[in-house]
Structure 1
């Protein structure tokens, strides 16, 4: 199978729809789906400022079991969480001006397959990041948003297949 496959459009007319998508995705990345997929995976979140990247990431982290305050990693670059031995790493590369900065910061070792890795603004790292399992492009759609979900690996394709089949 050649990746990435054509993206799947996912309407997000309001915040509730964004939370619902995040909850469904969290079940897959945390290993709670009926297919018993191993937990972990990489998700890239792309889109203009204000398109909903951080909102989707926060909703996914909350649905994954993160409690307490979920901070945006805009200034710290990374926020990490541990829930029942599953690590969540939430990156924001918006402030990077050089594609090498993410690796120079020592983040490469955190991209483990057994962790859930969410990366906002992955394009700021150029081609230096490993491909995600799922790439999500968020864009404005009237008063709401629209997500374009693209599988970039076999795991991502399994997630996308499950998401689209359970949407019906």
Structure 2
């Protein structure tokens, strides 16, 4: 599988990348989003979720762990596991019920759920690069590879 490196000039470019990727997303699909606090994980997720048709605000589910979005043809679950102290907490919330054939799952801080999450199709890592952001996308499955191929 391949990877792709892109530079994002600002917040609008981060949202635009999410919008671009959203047009090729087909369930089931899982994206892992990693990077430092403030690197743009939720901003990227907002681009995806609003592009799929959500009209309201997209907030980080830092305190709720998951924010669901229902669409006609799919469910999108936006996870933020930053505050998760023990991966076993995911068992209590029924984590496996979210990863269905009809869902797209965006998982921020996936390392905090290690061992209880399914493998990702794409691992997206955001990092600071001076006043910009750099994003590295790694395809981990054929479904993820198909999306990255379209981005090139």
- What TM-score comes out, normalization by structure 2 length? 0.94
Rounded Cα–Cα distance in structure 1 between residues aligned with 2:108 and 2:77: 11
1:145 counterpart = 2:137: no
Following TM superposition, the consecutive aligned residue runs of length 4 or more in structure 1 with deviations greater than 6 angstroms are none
Q: How far off its partner does 1:105 sit?
A: 1.5
Among residues 10, 14, 25, which one is paired with 2:21 in the alignment? 25
Q: Kindly tell me: are residues 108 and 39 of structure 1, through their superposed partners in 2, closer, same or farther at Cα, counting changes over 3 Å?
A: closer
Rounded Cα–Cα distance in structure 1 between residues aligned with 2:6 and 2:47: 16
Q: Could you tell me which runs of 5 or more consecutive residues in structure 2 were left unpaired when the two chains were aligned.
A: none
Among residues 40, 48, 70, which one is paired with 2:58 in the alignment? 70
80-89 or 146-155: bigger deviation: 80-89
1:7 counterpart = 2:6: no
1:105-132 CA distances to partner (integer Å, 9 max, x unpaired)?
Answer: 2121111132111000000011321111
Rounded Cα–Cα distance in structure 2 between residues aligned with 1:109 and 1:17: 33
Any idea what SS the aligned residue of 1:59 has? helix
Q: How far off its partner does 1:6 sit?
A: 4.4
142-151 or 83-92: bigger deviation: 83-92
Q: Could you tell me which runs of 5 or more consecutive residues in structure 1 were left unpaired when the two chains were aligned.
A: 30-37
- What TM-score comes out, normalization by structure 1 length? 0.85
Partner of 2:40: 52
Rounded Cα–Cα distance in structure 1 between residues aligned with 2:91 and 2:49: 24
Partner of 2:105: 117
Any idea what SS the aligned residue of 2:54 has? coil
CA contact (8 A) 1:91 1:119 kept: yes
Rounded Cα–Cα distance in structure 2 between residues aligned with 1:15 and 1:92: 19
Q: How many residues align?
A: 152
